[in-house]
Amino acid sequence: MIKRLQSFDHRVFVWCNQTISNRVFDRLFGGITHLGGATFTILSALLIAWAAFEALDITAYQSAIALTVSHLIVVLIKRIVRRDRPFRVLEQVKIGNFPLKDYSFPSGHTTAIFAVITPLLFLVSPLPTILLIILAALVGLSRIYWGYHYPTDCLAGSLIGFGSGWLVVYLMHVLGNT
Distance of CA 102 to CAs 38, 88, 147, Å?
Answer: 15, 11, 14
71 is catalytic: no
149 is catalytic: yes
CA separation for the pair 6, 23 (Å, rounded):
28
Among the listed residues 86, 53, 81, 49, the one whose alpha carbon sits nearest the alpha carbon of residue 67:
49
Annotated catalytic residue: which of 34, 71, 149, 173?
Answer: 149
Annotated catalytic residue: which of 34, 71, 109, 173?
Answer: 109
CA separation for the pair 119, 137 (Å, rounded):
16
CA separation for the pair 154, 104 (Å, rounded):
9
- Catalytically annotated residues: 109, 149
